[in-house]
Structure 1
Amino acid sequence: MFAITAARSSFDDPLSALEAGERPDPEPREGWAVVDVRAASLNHHDLWSLRGVGLPADRLPMILGCDAAGVDEDGNEVLVHGVVEDGAGRPTILSEKYDGTFAQRVLVPRANLLPKPPELSFEEASCLPTAWLTAYSMLFGKADLRPGSTILVQGAGGGVSVALIRLAVRTGHRVYVTGRDAAKRERALELGAYAAVPTGERLPERVDAVFESVGQATWAHSVRSLKPGGAIVVCGATSGDAPPAELTRVFFLQLRVIGSTMGTREELAGLTEMCARTGVRPVVDRVLPLERAAEGFRAMADGELFGKVVFTP
């Protein structure tokens, strides 16, 4: 079968580690299912894997990808929840220990399959299990917000950030967004954000919660944008780990710093149901045939995306 693989790792030139070509079909095993992949979406996790972060050399080559929608062996249209146990009871993500979804077929535990609602296309559904699930869990599971709260999303344009905007606007929150790119800030406003400002610019008010995936470049601004008792919910650090942690401000204002990684199968079911019922849909930046996956990886590495990249085998 055709697949996109991390053949080696290169922190400084991750795309040089990407290979496209034939790989063995997955071999059936008890309790697992083979899914014919109809669409799979790209995440920053895939780019970090090419850099060798979380994917050591002794596991290479590895088929990349942790999101997919497709058809199982019984003809059912399904979503793949990418969080699996590593054999020792610890959670891992597809493409960290087990081959991932950037292939014509993928082997996953049957318990990780959820029905794809007919209201969602395969391309839309494939965007949900990582970026959108992360946003859903951050917003509804970690932040402890009341309807009508005021929030800040750092970094307009990424998959998680766009999902946060869509979900938060839909549930009645006032959403501020930051971003370096004026065009992306304008797109955030079109999605319903209350205001979109350049990265680091002071907000006209302090917020109840900040959703942080950027890290070093935005951390100080995140801390200083919070009301007393507010929360920073952190799901990533694409610009690197934070500089000084502003601990004096954290303890004096009784701020909360909460980590968040993806979400549970139950949360994915809730997210899927929400999208089906409300009409909220992922923003897809582009759909590419799997053979052109390198184009999507390059666009992500260069920061030229607004929303999700989807590959179709």
Structure 2
Amino acid sequence: MQAVVVRHPGEPAVLENMTVPTPKVKPGWSLIQVKGRGVNHSEVFTREGKSPSVAFPRILGIEAVGTITESTAATRLPVGQTVITFMGEMGRAYDGSYAEYVLVPNAQIFPVTTELPWASLAAVPETYYTAYGALLGLRLQAGDQLLVRGGTSGVGVAAAKLAHAMADVTVTATTRQLGKTDQLKAAGFDAVVEEREGQLLTSATFDRVLDLIGPATVADSLTHLNPGGIVSSTGQLGGQWTLTDFDPIMRIPNDCYLTSFYSGDVQVTRIQNLLQLIASQDIDVTPVKTFPLSDMRAAHEYLASHHSFGKVVVLS
């Protein structure tokens, strides 16, 4: 099969197009023919060598959509079944979806029924599931002012679309490049504020904050909450993995809350509810950019560039 292999960390040039053996099915695992996969910032970090647990060589890719070609769970995962898979250490502890086929534990494969085309379905698993789970945790109510830090990211754009479908809210994006304001508003945001070096350049306050920058900006996000407000730290786009020297008594304002959402905790009912919401509300989940598998380097270059906006998908 054709695959994109990283033999050692580095710049996008380390993504090598290679012919490798198709994985052999083993007990408890099934083989998926990959039709598409989203490309994620975490994969860029791993390619750069910033994921200490990942050993090379490795085929990256933490999510995929496709069909079952060989199954060891024929009742739940019959051959030909449309499935999605994401997280579960795919592309990290074992080879991932940057290939024509991927071998995945059955427990990490989720059968779905959908009319979405492959490019749109490939945008859903990690990105829309993360946004949806985080928004559920924020307990949106009609009239809320929601701030999305990291609004130009794939999850940020997904959050804007989903939030409007879930409640009558006003959604504001943050960006370091105000030149993207028109793009953000076209994607579903109602307003845009600038941030610089982890600080919001506004005194405005919000009822809910979806912080996709993560630990690097959580403390600042907490200072922009209204009473009863909630911050969800659900991303690490800032490149900082943990909160350090964080005193919750001093940093979390009285009557405010800090929570998070981890997309690795996958619930089938949540996936089904998400797909139903997308269908019933006719949410446009079309990725902003698609690339062929043979051009994975270009996908990574785009995602890491200042021009990056929204979800990037690579099709087989």
Instruction: Indicate the TM-score class for this superposition, using the shorter chain for normalisation.
Output: 0.7 to 0.9
Aligned to 1:90: none
Letter in 2 for 1:250: R
Residue 228 of structure 2 corresponds to residue 225 of structure 1: no
Whole-angstrom distance in 1 between the partners of 2:39 and 2:94: 17
Aligned to 1:150: 145
Residue 281 of structure 2 corresponds to residue 278 of structure 1: yes
Counterparts of 1:130-279 in structure 2 under 5 Å?
Answer: 130-140=126-136, 142-171=137-166, 172-199=168-195, 200-202=200-202, 204=204, 206-215=205-214, 218-241=217-240, 245=246, 247=248, 250-262=251-263, 263-266=265-268, 267-279=270-282
CA drift of 1:203 comes to 5.2
Residue 313 of structure 2 corresponds to residue 310 of structure 1: yes
Residue 85 of structure 2 corresponds to residue 81 of structure 1: yes
Letter in 2 for 1:257: L
Whole-angstrom distance in 2 between the partners of 1:34 and 1:252: 49
CA drift of 1:220 comes to 4.6
CA drift of 1:287 comes to 0.9
SS of alignment partner, residue 235 of structure 2: coil
Equivalenced residue count is: 299
SS of alignment partner, residue 47 of structure 1: helix
Query: How big is each residue's C-alpha offset from its partner over 1:255-284, in whole Å with a ceiling of 9 and x where there is no partner?
Result: 322232214132222212221222113241
Asked if 1 retains the 8 angstrom alpha-carbon contact of 2:157 and 2:188, the reply is: no
Aligned to 2:67: 71
Whole-angstrom distance in 2 between the partners of 1:254 and 1:78: 45
Asked if 2 retains the 8 angstrom alpha-carbon contact of 1:176 and 1:195, the reply is: yes
SS of alignment partner, residue 208 of structure 1: strand
Aligned to 2:74: none
1:251 and 1:308, CA in 2 relative to 1: closer, same or farther beyond 3 A? closer
Query: How big is each residue's C-alpha offset from its partner over 1:36-83, in whole Å with a ceiling of 9 and x where there is no partner?
Result: 1111110111111112233546x3211111221111125535232223
Asked if 2 retains the 8 angstrom alpha-carbon contact of 1:220 and 1:246, the reply is: no
Asked if 2 retains the 8 angstrom alpha-carbon contact of 1:82 and 1:112, the reply is: yes
Percent of residue pairs identical: 25
Query: How big is each residue's C-alpha offset from its partner over 1:144-184, in whole Å with a ceiling of 9 and x where there is no partner?
Result: 33243221001221111111111011222211111122342
1:98 and 1:216, CA in 2 relative to 1: closer, same or farther beyond 3 A? closer
> Which portions of structure 1, spanning 4 or more consecutive aligned residues, are displaced by more than 6 angstroms?
none
Whole-angstrom distance in 1 between the partners of 2:285 and 2:59: 24
Query: How big is each residue's C-alpha offset from its partner over 1:173-223, in whole Å with a ceiling of 9 and x where there is no partner?
Result: 21111112234222221233221122222154x212111121466445412
Structure 1, gaps ≥5 residues long: 85-92
Asked if 2 retains the 8 angstrom alpha-carbon contact of 1:234 and 1:258, the reply is: yes
Whole-angstrom distance in 2 between the partners of 1:55 and 1:22: 27
Asked if 2 retains the 8 angstrom alpha-carbon contact of 1:2 and 1:23, the reply is: yes
Aligned to 1:89: none
Asked if 1 retains the 8 angstrom alpha-carbon contact of 2:150 and 2:174, the reply is: yes
Whole-angstrom distance in 1 between the partners of 2:93 and 2:81: 25
Query: How big is each residue's C-alpha offset from its partner over 1:197-250, in whole Å with a ceiling of 9 and x where there is no partner?
Result: 22222154x212111121466445412211123221112222233687585653
SS of alignment partner, residue 181 of structure 2: helix
1:110 and 1:56, CA in 2 relative to 1: closer, same or farther beyond 3 A? closer
Whole-angstrom distance in 2 between the partners of 1:224 and 1:253: 11
- Pick which of 68-77 and 224-233 moved more: 68-77
SS of alignment partner, residue 209 of structure 2: strand
Structure 2, gaps ≥5 residues long: 70-77
Whole-angstrom distance in 2 between the partners of 1:220 and 1:136: 23
Whole-angstrom distance in 2 between the partners of 1:252 and 1:154: 19
Aligned to 2:12: 15
Letter in 1 for 2:187: L
Cα RMSD (Å): 2.3
